Structure 1
């Protein structure tokens, strides 16, 4: 902000602080501050855009990182546009890919989109949310419109994108239609006259294309807010169904509670910052209590209960805690246990026990199952042919052997 501009009001400074909480980048911060100040002075809400392609039917906690930010901006009085990319998802977003992604069929997109908004409404305020589908304007472009749109962006600029550059240098094919994806995502911002667009860090290039296209069409460019990609329960890879490390927002309270309690004490604080609606002052106070002797497990319980209350209700959260206590703490589950990755799921329980170091041989693993000494997430296993799908589990053998076991997708 230049020295000739008026200083920001306390309300705008607070809105800026809320906007930046947990974010990776805000581009350009000074521009967004001016937008906030203008909005406050005129009483006109900003238009905040989030686009999601319905590539899968369900939303997990990783998706809610940006949804939580949208809700915070919504609570500040701004207009939230929840854009379902029913047209662009049929192209396939190449972000972060090292190969062309197979596009979805119209039928797949339609089926997945059915549940997207209903689940997102567990975070957003439906009464204050504008829902749009980009087929509404993309279908109308036609061949002439697509050519005219493509003329507004150069191949050189497109090749600045990291994944395109790596694929080109590595001799990995790039289909022409993949160039259309960021152009059409940017065109969405033109049509919607977005003031701010949100996305994960892997979407930065696409979001910046929106800025450039708005300039080409004579609009004030949108600002860009990127949010970190949330690691899954394994603390290694971003949360993903294919990795088996996800926590779905429509899972049962018991399942959500168990999964949230399985994350590491270190990862817990990132979950607090990105998923909790507690203030950062409250979170800092909680960290101070732990430094003074509070068991980190208690903080994890509070986080699990907050999240389950949001997606179910308070009674369900209390019931899930009671079930967890009965199954684990009363059974003397250790606070710390080995964390091992044993391969891809599905994988037989006997091999899981061997690979996790919970049984010295297949015969020992089989004997433990037959004697009723094996539990997975607290449930006794009686079927020695059981196949565990991709996911993260607390596996117990006898009274003292525990491991947090992850099977990848």
Structure 2
């Protein structure tokens, strides 16, 4: 593939479909309801309804795209909000495309950022990309998922093609992005390469001839660029489905590894279940709506049970078991519940780390840090002060405690344990 003076290289153009309104069958109405569930916006809904109607009439599945940049080696439950939606649309017969942004990762997505995101190296991207699809396949049906890498069509553009693509969008249009506008007003630097990110993400939709693109609410501008570029290249524009950003365990910020408020989809079953049980009762319904595969009618029934006096904890247990089963197994979910109950009664779980340390006697703060149960001695002493540290089940309140040699179980909070051998 080589660059062309008139336009960047493209795959074969799709034939524009008629926009004449078609009657909406019950199947189309059902598909619309599935798409709307938990979604923030469906743009433009009337267009998507017509795409669905034409798909049903012709027997040709829609092409539904989700792109994720491999900026970290693992996925968390926040990522699965859009993956769940992809699976729902996959289950009603549409083609889903899981796009790994190995090219766009080297630019760095500025969405929702107040500073320039450092671009990743090719080596970092390759390492992260190796696990992305394997983990996404815990949600998607891998046998029916088209996996693509955007370097396939972005690398061949070359500098000439990139310049020609950039000529199709103005700086004024780019500055309509809220985060760019805010940074400009605050005098925060915006690198020129950041303007390329929405263009390259939009170009992905042209290359894949997407009918619908999914993304978080922070991706709306980028998804709209894809829609405009498709028009520019003579394709029928994609529709856009944005999903809310799932709040993390703190119930405030979006789930993120950098904020340490996440639940990784490859975390041990016991850890995953305990983290889910730690969310607030009010946040539980948000997780049900965005993460559960239960019907809305079933969830409404659960709400009614709580309103009539049922213990929200029991409803949260059901959610925790559903999600642990999805990413592990039914038996793992049952075992995780038993482990959680044991811990809540003050019991010590069986599967805890065995750690050997030397230097006895060790101060309690240094001991907790060396055992990797606290990130620093100051945090360790704060936990002691709050009554969150136990040795063999006994609460430690003395911040000046020196721990002698021996074997014992060290506990921080409700979920962190280690069996220590101190010499």
TM-score by length of 1: 0.85
Mapped pair 1:128 → 2:128: no
Give 1:227's aligned residue: 243
Mapped pair 1:349 → 2:397: no
Mapped pair 1:67 → 2:101: no
CA distance in 2, matches of 1:288, 1:233: 24
**Residue deviations 1:163-207, cap 9 Å, x none?**
111111111111111110000000000000000000001100000
**SS in structure 2 opposite 1:224?**
strand
Change beyond 3 A, Cα 1:349–1:155: same
CA distance in 1, matches of 2:247, 2:270: 21
**SS in structure 1 opposite 2:398?**
helix
Change beyond 3 A, Cα 1:285–1:329: farther
**Residue deviations 1:274-316, cap 9 Å, x none?**
1010000000001111111110000110001000100000011
1:160, distance to aligned residue in structure 2 (A): 0.3
Instruction: Find the partner of 2:324 among 278, 303, 308.
Output: 308
CA distance in 2, matches of 1:351, 1:369: 17
1:368, distance to aligned residue in structure 2 (A): 11
CA distance in 1, matches of 2:250, 2:192: 36
Give 2:298's aligned residue: 282
Give 1:107's aligned residue: 123
**Residue deviations 1:18-63, cap 9 Å, x none?**
0010001111111101111111111100000000000000000000
CA distance in 2, matches of 1:233, 1:321: 19
1:98, distance to aligned residue in structure 2 (A): 1.2
CA distance in 2, matches of 1:260, 1:366: 34
Instruction: Find the partner of 1:163 among 170, 179, 191.
Output: 179
**Residue deviations 1:306-345, cap 9 Å, x none?**
00100000011001111111111577xxxxxxxxxxxx95
Change beyond 3 A, Cα 1:96–1:380: closer
1:5, distance to aligned residue in structure 2 (A): 3.8
CA distance in 1, matches of 2:415, 2:109: 40
**SS in structure 2 opposite 1:197?**
strand
Give 2:398's aligned residue: 364
Give 1:140's aligned residue: 156
1:94, distance to aligned residue in structure 2 (A): 0.6
**SS in structure 2 opposite 1:234?**
coil
Query: How is 1:290-301 mapped onto 2 (pairs within 5 angstroms)?
Result: 290-301=306-317
Instruction: Find the partner of 1:152 among 168, 173, 197.
Output: 168
Change beyond 3 A, Cα 1:262–1:217: same
**Residue deviations 1:127-155, cap 9 Å, x none?**
11000000011000011111111111111
**SS in structure 2 opposite 1:364?**
coil
CA distance in 1, matches of 2:37, 2:397: 53
CA RMSD in angstroms, aligned pairs only: 2.3
CA distance in 1, matches of 2:257, 2:132: 15
Q: Which runs of 5+ in 2 are unaligned?
A: 1-19, 348-373, 390-395
1:353, distance to aligned residue in structure 2 (A): 3.7
Structure ID, larger Rg: 2
CA distance in 1, matches of 2:77, 2:402: 35
TM-score by length of 2: 0.82
CA distance in 2, matches of 1:299, 1:286: 7
Give 1:12's aligned residue: 28
CA distance in 2, matches of 1:312, 1:107: 30
Instruction: Find the partner of 2:57 among 37, 41, 55.
Output: 41
User: 1:375–1:381: 8 Å Cα contact kept in structure 2?
Assistant: no
User: 1:25–1:225: 8 Å Cα contact kept in structure 2?
Assistant: yes
1:259, distance to aligned residue in structure 2 (A): 0.3
User: 1:369–1:381: 8 Å Cα contact kept in structure 2?
Assistant: no
Change beyond 3 A, Cα 1:86–1:373: closer
Change beyond 3 A, Cα 1:222–1:326: same
Instruction: Find the partner of 1:317 among 323, 326, 333.
Output: 333
Instruction: Find the partner of 2:254 among 227, 238, 247.
Output: 238
Instruction: Find the partner of 1:270 among 272, 281, 286.
Output: 286
1:381, distance to aligned residue in structure 2 (A): 7.2
Mapped pair 1:376 → 2:387: no
1:376, distance to aligned residue in structure 2 (A): 2.4
User: 1:186–1:213: 8 Å Cα contact kept in structure 2?
Assistant: yes
Give the number of equivalent residue pairs. 366
Give 2:14's aligned residue: none
1:352, distance to aligned residue in structure 2 (A): 2.7
**SS in structure 1 opposite 2:181?**
helix
**Residue deviations 1:196-220, cap 9 Å, x none?**
0000011000000000000000110
